[in-house]
Amino acid sequence: MSDMRIIISGGGSGGHIFPAVAIANAVKARWPEADILFVGAEGRMEMEKVPAAGYEIKGLPIAGLQRKLTPANVVKNLQLPFKMWKSRKMVKEILTGFKPDIVVGVGGFASEPTLMAASAMGIPTLLQEQNSYAGLTNKMLAKNARKICVAYEGMERFFPKEKIVFTGNPVRADIENMTVTNAEGRAHFGLNAEGRVMLSVGGSLGARSINQMILAHLHFFKENNIQVLWQTGKWMYDEAKAAVDQAKVTEWVKVHQFISRMDMAYAAADVVVSRAGAIAISELCLVGKPVILIPSPNVAEDHQTKNALALVDRGAALMVRDADCDAQGPSAILELFDSPRQQAEMSAAIQKMAVRRAADKIVDQIAKIVQ
């Protein structure tokens, strides 16, 4: 298997890219000589993050449908059929040139044309479905996939039962094998070792409602002795930084556009406020911190709410709806901080849902298909 050739396709957000890189790393650990090529979407996050992880990537001119119908978006939507046609043409050339043994789809714009073309050319495909609710693209791609690796029970309502393998979601190795202590995490971010710490993560691209809730209540955190480690994403960073400086709460609220050392951030926190993306949830289960989930409303089939409820139903998380974030967020945060017992119960419950070695389990399936 030393001459194994694999294409991994997908991206668009950290939730698709981190698992893809984790799978690639697990492939390399098993077959160091394996040749791995990524196929992503031009102008998206993967074009920067994948090369940073040491892998080659080809970008397709593919994009998603713009739902807000501004004049600029109408033009973008009119260009979609051409972009799709061009992407399909490019994918055929990539597959013919690279000659992969298998193509792995992790979700995101680029996975659809790549896996459709691979199936049409007789190349075996494997799907990795991260969410508790399967998206339209993966339901369509499942027809030709050899195996579908899932992270939630009950996925036979979307996919053929005989193709499903429960593997869990692959997460970054530094989070799965966390060795950082609370004190090291706090020192890393310049946080007070004694005080209470909340970590706010809105996903790799940021979360407007969570950001605005924090922005509107900067003094609330200082008054209640809560330090905030705040990942804003790039859209809100400048505004957040200026507001924190102006409110003179810089020693309470630490603003970061993007936190690269998430192991340090998780270690430093007592409580986490997060979106309910599948990979964020998989990481939170491994980390075992009490969490308040605020699902994004801007996702297909409202799948983040379904992801969150899978935890809430087991007493493993609290949920505040996005629309109620500003009104209910601060009181939910304070109540959780003021109840060490509830924190301990939630922490124990969420750890029971953790799945380890997911990337290795997916590589087991790749090996079976290719052999």
Pairing between strand 56-60 and 196-201?
unpaired
pLDDT in tens, 153-192: 899 999 999 999 999 999 888 899 899 999 999 999 999 9
Residue reference for tokens 């922005």: 215
Query: For 15-27, what is the mean pLDDT?
Result: 90
Structure tokens given for 223: 């008054």
With a cut of 90, say whether residue 30 has pLDDT above it. Answer: yes
pLDDT in tens, 306-356: 889 999 999 999 999 999 999 999 999 999 999 999 999 999 999 999 999
Asked whether 283 and 289 are in contact (CB, 8 A), the reply is no
Instruction: Identify which of 155, 154, 152 has the alpha carbon closest to the alpha carbon of residue 142.
Output: 155
- Torsion angle in degrees (nearest 10) through CA of 190, 13, 263, 188: -20
What is the per-residue pLDDT for 121? 97
Identify the pLDDT of residue 12.
73
- Could you tell me which residues come within 8 angstroms of residue 147 by beta carbon, excluding any fewer than 6 positions away? 126, 127, 163, 164, 165, 365, 368, 369
DSSP-assigned states of every residue in 35-94: EEEEEEETTSTHHHHHHHTT-EEEEE---PPP-S--HHHHHHHHHHHHHHHHHHHHHHHH
With a cut of 90, say whether residue 230 has pLDDT above it.
yes
The 10s digit of each residue's pLDDT in 117-146 is 999 999 999 999 988 888 788 899 999 999
Is the CB of residue 39 less than 8 Å from the CB of residue 146? no
pLDDT at residue 203 is higher than 80: no
Helix H segments across the chain?
A: 14-30, 46-52, 71-98, 111-120, 136-141, 173-176, 182-189, 208-216, 218-223, 237-246, 262-268, 278-287, 303-312, 325-337, 340-351, 358-370
Query: How deeply is 338 buried, as exposed, middle or buried, from its count of CB atoms within 10 A (0-12, 13-18, 19+)?
Result: exposed
By the 8 A CB rule, do 333 and 343 touch? no
